[in-house]
Amino acid sequence: MCSSTCRLGSAATKVKWVKLMGGLIKRGKGTFHFRMRVPKEYVGIAGKTEIHRTLKTDSARKATELVPAMRKGILDELKALKLLKDQPDCADSYRAAQEIVKKRGLNYLPSGSLLLAPLEETLIRFEKLAEGDNIQVARALLGGIEEPGLRLSELVATVEEYRRHDNRHKNDDQLRKWRNPRKKAVRNLMKSIGNNDILVSEIDAAAVQKHKMFWQKAVSTGKAKPDTANKDFIHMRSMLSDYYESIGMVQAPRTYQGIGIKKDRYEKANRKLEIPVNWMTEKWFAPGAFDGINQEAVDILLISIETGCRQSEISNLPHMRLYWMIQSRTFTFKWKKEICVARLRIQPLNGRCPSSVSLWQQPNGTQKDFQSIVATATIPTR
């Protein structure tokens, strides 16, 4: 521990500061302060070589505990300010501006929204400006950082990247089935607004209403079902929510909230009928019914008949899971993340178990898409 004397301003008053280890300093018997040298790459942003922050405590033990978080907070803010200066138009800058405002106890508001807010909201933000804050902090507090300009045609790819972790267990076929309906929803929205590739931020209530009217016309003419239209709205609502979450927008617009087309209550329920057992016996189990069809397709079909499972569920089974299935003589779906717990089921393998053995002996298990498996032949159907 050592002591030194520093002069404040032009006054002759001398204040005694006690320097401690780890960047801590104490003014007489008052509170502890944290002093940190500004890294060279941030000197131009900070406008000074040292930063002092009060720790608001006179306890040496508590002050020591607060130092790591204080140092990290300062470095994070300097990094954010540098990003705002160097790349003001990128998504990371938008997130950085939100973090700067959040650390001052406020939510980020774009300048346009701030102009429409009560005057008190603007005054509060001016009060949060501290002595020594640079212009980047002022821009963040006053909403001067614009939302990233993402086009509608780029939305699916952006959301897919953001949801990469959630989709990590999907294979190529499952990713395709995840991606395609979302692309379709975007195409339909663009079609309803005159094939304009607008910014995502420009999707307002008017654009959403045009999207709804587009589907209302299709439903009223019998070209589509309400369920088809509602899937479009659900996908758009989900993607917009993911996008705004990815850029850290706290008060994101919810333009698709409550949008939907009601089903016709007089419409009769329609479902696919089961294939009669007699028909399967006559067609599929007839001698030579599968002559000329590749063995893998036949195995999948026979397991499907035995278990009632979808052919795609069987064709997507990993090789080792299929081996385990043969050993235990059961067919389970616990491996598949996309099926919720309530739908997990175990299917017994009885008379057609040899088909699963044959399928397991295929070179790559069942990693191929079922459509590619049967591309060389057609399995008899009704």
290: left (phi over 0), alpha (psi -120 to 50) or beta: alpha
Q: Give 317-349 pLDDT, tens digit per residue.
A: 655 445 444 444 444 443 344 444 444 444 444
Return the H-helix or E-strand segment holding 332: strand 330-332
Of 284, 282, 283, 279, give the one whose Cα is nearest residue 303: 284
Question: What mean pLDDT do residues 230-250 have?
Answer: 91
Residue with tokens 């079609």: 191
Q: Give 17-44 pLDDT, tens digit per residue.
A: 555 556 788 776 778 888 888 888 888 8
Give 260's pLDDT tier (boundaries 50, 70, 90).
very high
* Residue with the larger pLDDT of the pair 357 and 254: 254
22: left (phi over 0), alpha (psi -120 to 50) or beta: left
Of 138, 56, 146, 147, give the one whose Cα is nearest residue 101: 138
Q: What span, in angstroms and rounded, lies between the C-alpha atoms of 152 and 190?
A: 8
Residue 231: strand, helix, or coil: helix
pLDDT of res. 374: 36
Q: What is the DSSP string of 137-185?
A: HHHHHTT-SPPP--BGGGHHHHHHHHTTTTTTT--HHHHHHHHHHHHHH
Q: Give 42-65 pLDDT, tens digit per residue.
A: 888 777 888 888 888 888 888 888
> Distances in Å between the alpha carbon of 112 and those of 117, 144, 147, 222, 318?
9, 9, 11, 43, 53
Q: What span, in angstroms and rounded, lies between the C-alpha atoms of 111 and 144?
A: 6
Could you tell me the two tokens for 365?
A: 């298990």
pLDDT of res. 318: 57
Tally of helices (H runs) and strands (E runs) in the chain? 16, 7
Residue 53: strand, helix, or coil: strand
Of 351, 370, 316, give the one whose Cα is nearest residue 170: 316
Q: What span, in angstroms and rounded, lies between the C-alpha atoms of 68 and 155?
A: 39
pLDDT of res. 370: 38
* Residue with the larger pLDDT of the pair 355 and 10: 355
Q: What span, in angstroms and rounded, lies between the C-alpha atoms of 188 and 181?
A: 10
* Residue with the larger pLDDT of the pair 204 and 112: 204
pLDDT of res. 53: 83
Phi, psi of 77 (to 5 degrees): -70, -40
Mean pLDDT estimate for the chain: 76
pLDDT of res. 255: 93
Give the whole-number percent of the chain exceeding pLDDT 70. 75
Question: What mean pLDDT do residues 354-360 have?
Answer: 45
Give 153's pLDDT tier (boundaries 50, 70, 90).
very high
User: Over 80: is that where the pLDDT of 141 sits?
Assistant: yes
List, in order, residues 6 or more apart from 363 with CB less than 8 Å away. none
If you compute the radius of gyration of the chain from its CA atoms, what whole number of angstroms results? 32
List, in order, residues 6 or more apart from 160 with CB less than 8 Å away. 167, 178, 179
Lowest mean pLDDT among 66-80, 225-239, 255-269, 309-323: 309-323
Q: Give 170-203 pLDDT, tens digit per residue.
A: 888 889 999 999 999 999 999 999 999 988 988 9
Q: Give 53-107 pLDDT, tens digit per residue.
A: 888 888 888 888 888 888 888 888 888 888 777 776 666 777 788 888 888 888 8
> Distances in Å between the alpha carbon of 246 and those of 110, 162, 180, 236?
17, 7, 21, 15
Q: What's the half-sphere exposure (Cβ side, CA atoms, 13 Å) at 271?
A: 4
Most confident of 30-44, 161-175, 232-246: 232-246
pLDDT of res. 91: 67
